[in-house]
A and B are shown apart, each in its own frame.
Chain A
Amino acid sequence: MNFLRIIAFVTGLILVLFLNLGNLTCKQKNEVRPMVRVELDVYSGQPNPSWELAASDVAAVASRLTGLPRLTSSPAEPGLGYRGVVLLNPQGQVGLPLEIRVYNGTVTVREASGLSHYQDTKGLEEWLLAQARQRGHQKILQELGK
């Protein structure tokens, strides 16, 4: 009897470990692909140039959003041409807001509760523009004076 109980215990332990391992694998997959899209908002007719935010960059974005001075007024709406860089996170993943637009030194964050505006004191816009240049969008940025 004791031998049977031991077998049952070990079998159950193995099953529990196996299931948890599967969960860990899924979690790791989610961490690898955050599905946050970055758009260089420049076009009116055609779709904007865009790329996926790398998982390794999520923390960098989050750190550049932390502790920003809040602005009390809304920024002026940009027109045709350069309108900043937008991070789109419609599923609300990886702890980032639903949408982040950074333009002309202002970070506008959209969450379920509404819009908030902050001063870009940690260089989020420049950091994202550097990413855009690395991804082959340097020429268009030069045309727009960026």
Chain B
Amino acid sequence: MIVTMDIFSGMPNPSWKLNDKDARRLTEQLAGKALSSADATDGSLGYRGYVITSESDDEATAAGLPAEFRLGGNLPGDLLTPRGLALPSLSDEASLDASLWLLQTVQGAADDDLLSYVEGVVKAQSAGELAAPPKKGRKVEEPAFAAPCVIQNTAYNPGFWNTPQVQPVNNCYNYAMNYRSDTFAQPGRISGHMYTALTCANVGAAADWDGCRSTCSGSSKTVALVIWPGRDFHWYRKHSNGFWGHKPGSTAARNTDNRNRVIGGALTPANCDRGPYTSFCGYRFSPVGMKVK
């Protein structure tokens, strides 16, 4: 974890890396709390808190924290909260305690005068001498997080889908969400918010309602949405074997693109031959156990 003290206006801010022990301690203090987004600042001169940044794509998720967030300072009150869930916000007291404690981890990144100044500001805030603006409680939608993201892509198993009983009545959406409904599932149908237009935004929103979201929370499988503009949608699912599978309509599930190349390695749903499905909408996360209809 990298800590950046947000204090200067012209010069680069002091920045240092927490050792493993300190990183664990900070994680334990902050886990399960709604935290401020990194850009939540009133822009005032002087000490504006710390920005905490994870160094790897799995460090933040393993810790159950956002990849980047702000701690301490005179914050306008924007909170990072998971979509649909309410986490308790980090209390002012806990925030100030953590802010003071971080001064002990600086390891020479800032001189003693600067540290004394910041200590004074933080203690003044703690004593109520520097009143923080009231928290507005406005929720920021992105990045959303709830439970730590755990990617659980399963092994490629076309035999399940390519039988006379299953194949004709389960489509690409069934396959990508890994749920056999025998209804030729449609995004949004199970949640009562079916898509109304064949665009990335509209079909993506419908899938959102079903539970397939653009951010990862909990145990999830990786999927991708593509669109034949104005005509149709198609989905892919990532497998633990390292490649992507898909099921074009009522035809057989396969792991190859329109040029019969395995969709793996450098070849992804974003750049493989998708025929008329020219719009790549991006990757999404389908919770393990998600149902469709």
A94-145 residues at the B interface, CB under 8 angstroms: 140, 143-144
Cβ contact of A83, chosen from B172, B232, B251, B273, cutoff 8 A: B251
B248 in contact with A79 (CB, 8 Å): yes
- CB neighbours (8 Å) of A76 from chain B are 260
B187, B233, B247 pick with most chain A CB within 10 angstroms: B233
B248 in contact with A83 (CB, 8 Å): yes
Bits for A44-88, please: 1 = Cβ < 8 Å to B, else 0: 111110000000000000000000000000001111110100000
A80 in contact with B231 (CB, 8 Å): no
Q: Does A18 contact B (CB under 8 A)?
A: no
- CB neighbours (8 Å) of B235 from chain A are 45
Bits for B211-255, please: 1 = Cβ < 8 Å to A, else 0: 000000000000000000001111100000000000111111010
Task: A143 to B258: give the CA distance in the assembly, Å.
Answer: 17
Bits for A36-48, please: 1 = Cβ < 8 Å to B, else 0: 0000011111111
- Stretch of B47-55, B101-109, B144-152, B274-282 at the chain-chain interface: B274-282
Give B164's nearest chain A residue, CB to CB. Answer: A110
Q: Does B37 contact A (CB under 8 A)?
A: no
Q: How many residues of A contact B (CB 8 A)?
A: 18
Task: A140 to B187: give the CA distance in the assembly, Å.
Answer: 22
A44 in contact with B232 (CB, 8 Å): yes
A41, A48, A80, A144 pick with most chain B CB within 10 angstroms: A80
Chain B residues proximal to chain A, CB less than 8 Å: 171-173, 184, 186-187, 231-235, 247-252, 254, 256-258, 260, 273-277
Cross-chain pairs A/B with CB under 8 angstroms, 25 sampled:
A42-B232, A43-B231, A43-B249, A44-B171, A44-B232, A44-B233, A44-B247, A44-B248, A45-B173, A45-B232, A46-B186, A48-B249, A48-B250, A76-B260, A77-B251, A77-B254, A78-B251, A80-B258, A80-B274, A80-B276, A80-B277, A81-B275, A81-B276, A83-B249, A140-B231
Chain A residues proximal to chain B, CB less than 8 Å: 41-48, 76-81, 83, 140, 143-144
